[in-house]
Structure 1
Amino acid sequence: MRKSFSSSLILSLFVLLMCVPFLLTFVYSISTEWGKSILPTGLTLQWYEQLYADPRFIQSVVRSCLLTFGTLIAVLIIVVPSIVMISIYLPKAEKFMKPTVLMPYAIPGVVLATGLLRTYSGSPVPLTAVLSGGIFIYALPFMYQSIHNNLREVDAKTLMEASEILGASKLQAFVRLLLPNIKIGIMVGSLLTFSTFLGEFQITNMLLGGDFETIRIYMLRVMKINGHLSSAVVVTYFLLLLMISAVIVKATSRKSYKLMAGQEETTLSISEMKGSASNELLND
């Protein structure tokens, strides 16, 4: 009883600690003035009306979403097959793969942006593509760890070997058997990547500055003009992340039952295959 009460108390304090800053930011974003008293002197929605009527804000949100989604699609197309290939067919290379993929954590964003700027500033490669490449590098650890853990849970090597014995090609086994079983890992990695890099500021600001105004650069510019307006930007940014996260989590929860059923059917198929193979050997 005491343990349950203490756990509930700690959880409640944690939720309160996480929610209070957001609630105060929201109240400040709808206040007319809040500086000389404990409570705001009045409430208004003029800051949100001004924000959503600004075409630069809409453009910054669109740029941020396009940049993040474009990089995420590239990560999924390139990284997912690479991780599967290395985990199943080149397991010895994993000891080199893991430290290489996790290396971006040791490189500060300022160092990476400076190196990219010195390398590509005089080249014909557009800096927007260079920016996507920098975000791609930083997204590798999130996607690698999520998919790698999921591959170990579903025993990917056994699934691939069983499907190939049953006559499926490597591509068919990957698309129709393995990919559905690692959807949870892909969705978790996608969620981490999107939520982290939607508000990326350091690399974007150093490479492109005001020429490519994302939502974080817009928020920094507005912060110098009006604190209420910048608070409205922060609230909108977090609500956008919350909606996207809710969609991904809901999609993941729907898929989980199908994946469990699919894994059970796959296990039964493998067991039946082993039994038939044993019978054939005994008959021979």
Structure 2
Amino acid sequence: MRKKSGGKFVIGLIIAYLLLPLFLTLVYSLFTEWMDILPEGFTLRYYAEIFGDRIFWASLARTVVISFIPVFITAAVLLLAMYAVVLYMPGLDKYLQMICTIPYAIQGVILPVSVLSLYAGAPWPFSNRIVMLVLTYCVVILPYMYQGIKNSLISVDALRLVEAAEMLGADKFYAFFRIIVPCMLSGVVIASMLSIALIFGDFVIVNTIGGSYYSTAQMYLLKKMFISGQLTSAVIMVLFVVTLLISAAVFCFKSKAEASAGEVKK
């Protein structure tokens, strides 16, 4: 009992330590001054200013769109690639893993600058800034999506499940996408959420490639940093709540999909 109590205390201490910066940011966004131990001048005008700013809502919408589209594209491509590798060409798995881990070495400012120098003068649609941004994010999140999908395939023992489904009369394509994919949905969702969070918080790539063509919430946040610290804190809290709501919606969808898959199995 003492060990359990000690473990809960340590976990609670770690959670409190992690949430402390967020709590202080929230407090700072709700007061006009904090020059002493306690803040002064409670106000909601910073949040009212944000919610009444059309530029903020437009930049937030762009951020959500640019966060989801690369994840959908990468997940679809990787699922088809893993389908072919697992069922037909298992010897190519090491090469696929090698290709998917290359982006680890070219992140940061190197990747967007390389993309711009290579595709700026290319024919449409490759020279389009939005297309370049989406495809660049597909490259950035490739290692995270691959590892999540690969771990899920290993955990569900995909090959044996497909063989069992074939013995019952199902073809490989049906077995993979109607049996294997629902079983590995948790791993795909976790990898997707990690990728969305990575894109949602990015500034370097979107600023280098998108610039004024595609202003996102992170660029909006940068502009507000030069105006007011309280306003910046309010923007951070709003973005945190939006990220939390997106995560809750995705996990709710995952739970419903898993429940539907369970009913199909029964």
Residue 8 of structure 1 is matched in structure 2 by: 8
Residue 76 of structure 2 is matched in structure 1 by: 77
Residue 17 of structure 2 is matched in structure 1 by: 17
Separation (CA, whole Å) in 2 of partners of 1:179 and 1:256: 10
Contact residue 113 and residue 203 of structure 1 kept, 8 A: yes
Larger Rg: 1
Name the SS of the counterpart of 1:81 in structure 2: helix
Over the aligned positions, Cα root-mean-square deviation in angstroms equals 1.9
Where structure 2 has 5 or more consecutive residues not aligned to the other structure, the ranges are none
Give the share of equivalent positions with the same residue, in percent: 33
Residue 199 of structure 1 is matched in structure 2 by: 201
Residue 236 of structure 2 is matched in structure 1 by: 234
**How far apart are 1:257 and its partner, in Å?**
5.8
Q: TM-score, normalised by structure 2?
A: 0.91
**How far apart are 1:110 and its partner, in Å?**
0.6
Name the SS of the counterpart of 1:208 in structure 2: helix
Contact residue 63 and residue 213 of structure 1 kept, 8 A: yes
Q: Does 1:86 align with 2:88?
A: no
Name the SS of the counterpart of 2:32 in structure 1: coil
**How far apart are 1:171 and its partner, in Å?**
2.4
**How far apart are 1:63 and its partner, in Å?**
0.5
Q: Counterpart of 1:12 in structure 2: which amino acid?
A: G
Residue 270 of structure 1 is matched in structure 2 by: none
Alignment of 1:124-143 (within 5 A): 124=123, 125-143=127-145
Residues 16 and 141 of structure 1: is their aligned pair in 2 closer, same or farther, counting only changes over 3 Å?
same
Contact residue 64 and residue 199 of structure 1 kept, 8 A: no
Q: Counterpart of 2:22 in structure 1: which amino acid?
A: F
Residue 163 of structure 1 is matched in structure 2 by: 165
Contact residue 182 and residue 258 of structure 2 kept, 8 A: no
- Report the more deviating stretch, 164-173 or 136-145: 164-173
Q: TM-score, normalised by structure 1?
A: 0.86
Q: Does 1:217 align with 2:219?
A: yes
| CA deviation vs aligned residue, 1:248-284 (integer Å, no higher than 9, x gap) | 2334345556656767x6xxxxxxxxxxxxxxxxxxx
Q: Does 1:244 align with 2:230?
A: no
Contact residue 205 and residue 217 of structure 1 kept, 8 A: yes
Contact residue 200 and residue 216 of structure 1 kept, 8 A: yes
Separation (CA, whole Å) in 1 of partners of 2:154 and 2:259: 19
Where structure 1 has 5 or more consecutive residues not aligned to the other structure, the ranges are 266-284
**How far apart are 1:39 and its partner, in Å?**
1.4
Residue 28 of structure 1 is matched in structure 2 by: 28
Residue 187 of structure 1 is matched in structure 2 by: 189
Regions of 4+ moved over 3 Å = 250-263
Separation (CA, whole Å) in 2 of partners of 1:83 and 1:216: 34
Aligned residues: 263
Contact residue 221 and residue 235 of structure 2 kept, 8 A: yes
Residue 278 of structure 1 is matched in structure 2 by: none
**How far apart are 1:226 and its partner, in Å?**
1.2
Residue 281 of structure 1 is matched in structure 2 by: none
| CA deviation vs aligned residue, 1:170-210 (integer Å, no higher than 9, x gap) | 32222322222222222112211112212221111111223
Alignment of 1:90-129 (within 5 A): 90-124=89-123, 125-129=127-131
**How far apart are 1:123 and its partner, in Å?**
2.2
**How far apart are 1:166 and its partner, in Å?**
3.1
Residues 63 and 258 of structure 1: is their aligned pair in 2 closer, same or farther, counting only changes over 3 Å?
closer
- Report the more deviating stretch, 237-246 or 157-166: 157-166
Contact residue 87 and residue 148 of structure 1 kept, 8 A: no
